């Protein structure tokens, strides 16, 4: 079993971070997230009544960085152990996207 160097680890960490944000928080996946959690089309925001069939455990898992983040990290770690180069090639665009999002978020906060 090998250990990634600091640069490889940085790419893996940023890649996992970006994929976590995509699954847990980005609006582009609202529709599949609602379907998985059985929220329905009418549920809009935190104050609205939650449907009876809502999957609370999945909701907690998907939005928890400790939960989903851990399993995504395990997935990346195993993939890196099996195919280091391919995993880094896959993680690189996600890592770049993470840096872009973090920079944009910080720039937006400075303008307020």
Q: Which of 81, 71, 88, 98 is nearest to 14 (CA)?
A: 98
pLDDT at 40: 63
pLDDT at 31: 83
Please, what is the average pLDDT of the chain? 87
Higher-confidence residue: 66 or 35?
Answer: 66
Spatial contact of 62 and 68, defined as CB atoms under 8 Å apart: yes
Is the alpha carbon torsion for 88, 93, 96, 98 positive or negative? negative
pLDDT at 45: 65
Give CA–CA dist 16/69, Å, rounded: 7
pLDDT at 41: 62
pLDDT, tens digit (0-9, with 9 covering 90-100), for 71-111: 999 999 999 999 999 999 999 999 999 999 999 988 887 76
Question: What does the DSSP 8-state code read for residue 51?
Answer: P
């Amino acid at each position: 079993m090998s250990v990634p160097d600091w640069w490889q680890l940085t790419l893996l960490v940023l890649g996992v971070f970006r994929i976590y944000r995509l699954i847990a928080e980005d609006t582009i996946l609202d529709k599949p997230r609602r379907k998985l959690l059985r929220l329905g089309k009418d549920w809009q925001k935190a104050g609205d009544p939650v449907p009876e069939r809502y999957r609370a455990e999945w909701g907690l898992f998907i939005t928890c960085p400790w939960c989903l983040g851990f399993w995504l990290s395990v997935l990346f770690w195993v993939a890196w152990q099996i195919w280091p180069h391919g995993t880094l090639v896959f993680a690189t665009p996600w890592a770049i996207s993470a840096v872009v999002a973090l920079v944009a978020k910080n720039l937006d906060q400075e303008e307020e």
